[in-house]
Structure 1
């Protein structure tokens, strides 16, 4: 069972909306993994894209301490969080539905990394049918300056200047030492999220949404990540919004963003239907 203390939200569409969009097939379950410090009211704007198209949606954002502290020090707390998140699918009896992920920034991608590992290593979760994933403003690797900008934005204006500079300094030193200077050694104990998924990517299609104007995640990191996935046979599509800020593509380009996500989901569902059709023909 999933931890009842997990602060998640699940929304089921009405039957009429699901039938209109998916015509008798099981509607997709879209799992949205928020960026560090993301408020649910912000994440709900993204989930509405899928709710309006007859999908079940689950919204969850990992706690700040696990993103900025636990992961920085190599403590895999998000691994147990990923397990609890996947158990939610069984709790609500939607484990046989097509599963689709929408992941935001490194905060969401860190959790996605452990989800991917569980889906490939745990027999309990391996039957889940993941059809695709959208990566919004992610992933980034080895960018201390971008990480500091993300933490600064997350702390907000209400944190005292003394505490702010102390936390930023501690975080910068930790990341620089463990994730850059000592990483050739520490990666054998705890590989970072970027390298972990790049080196062993899942087979389902990915859509990467990014911007050259992003001051937190370098677009070069996203580009290199996409190239690595393609080399390993993972289908990848992308969209460079050019001018929008970090995790602000929907706000800057609402129609284009919504259309990209909707079209990608529909294509992923078509691919699953085609695979099942070929499987039935082979078994006849």
Structure 2
């Protein structure tokens, strides 16, 4: 995880465009906490950082797509930092996705939750998840449900949620290979291997994918949501996105949909930057986190 601190105050009175208010960033790894220039070893999970603990900015939790590089994510960081947000970027690598337990995606989910619990000054949270980041969010929701009263004060802190190119667990057999290689033959081989693995390793992986999917569909968060997708996305199924949105709307959630005609997986902002930014800002204004 990496925490980036904006140099701007939250913008509530004057709308701004996307720029480069990068501030500075601090890595948050396993059992360390972020500081101004170095990591402090922690003995009990991710502790509150002095630098972060004094801040009153809103925080966006960016759950990145698989193999996303910082250069790919910078435009999203800038979008939020220009609005006065600090940014917590979370990455899940292929092995952590394939084996969720121990040091896998469940471990990452707990790290994020520990950070949020230990930094209660971040009282206004937004989650912006890409592709399998939706699954990572599902793992967080599973742990929030299991944790019961421990997370009761955390849930109301979420003010908005954005899901770009959402991939449900049913899309992992095709989405995982597509993210790893452009070779069509290798993609097919990997898809077959994943489908076989889902049967053979059901107790180690598939059962956790299904639990995260159920938790995601039964989303306990009540804040407005924005789902961004494309008719031409070969990884993220539009119908899957619609089913999730329908589940949430039946629960009373305010769900906005932004569907592009021809952009590829997690490339919507690159092809339609103005419309993408406007949709995100519209959501942030709805919850009074942007001018």
Q: Using structure 2 for the length normalisation, give the TM-score.
A: 0.72
* 1:173–1:207 distance in 2 versus 1, CA, 3 Å: same
- Tell me the equivalent position of 1:87: 114
1:1-284 aligned at under 5 Å gives the runs 7-15=1-9, 18=11, 26-67=56-97, 69-71=98-100, 77-90=104-117, 93-106=119-132, 108-122=133-147, 123-128=149-154, 129-143=157-171, 144-153=173-182, 165=186, 169=189, 171-177=190-196, 179=198, 191=210, 193-269=212-288
Runs of 5+ in structure 2 lacking a partner?
16-55
Question: Are the equivalent residues in 1 in contact too, given 2:141–2:212 (CA < 8 A)?
Answer: no
Could you say what the CA RMSD is over the residues aligned between the two structures, in angstroms?
A: 3.2
Q: Across the two proteins, how many residue pairs are aligned to each other?
A: 244
State the 1:206 CA deviation. 1.3
Runs of 5+ in structure 1 lacking a partner?
1-6, 271-284
Distance across 1 between alignment mates of 2:121 and 2:143: 15
* Bigger share in helix: 1
Distance across 2 between alignment mates of 1:149 and 1:78: 19
Distance across 2 between alignment mates of 1:230 and 1:76: 34
* 1:82–1:232 distance in 2 versus 1, CA, 3 Å: same
- Tell me the equivalent position of 1:282: none
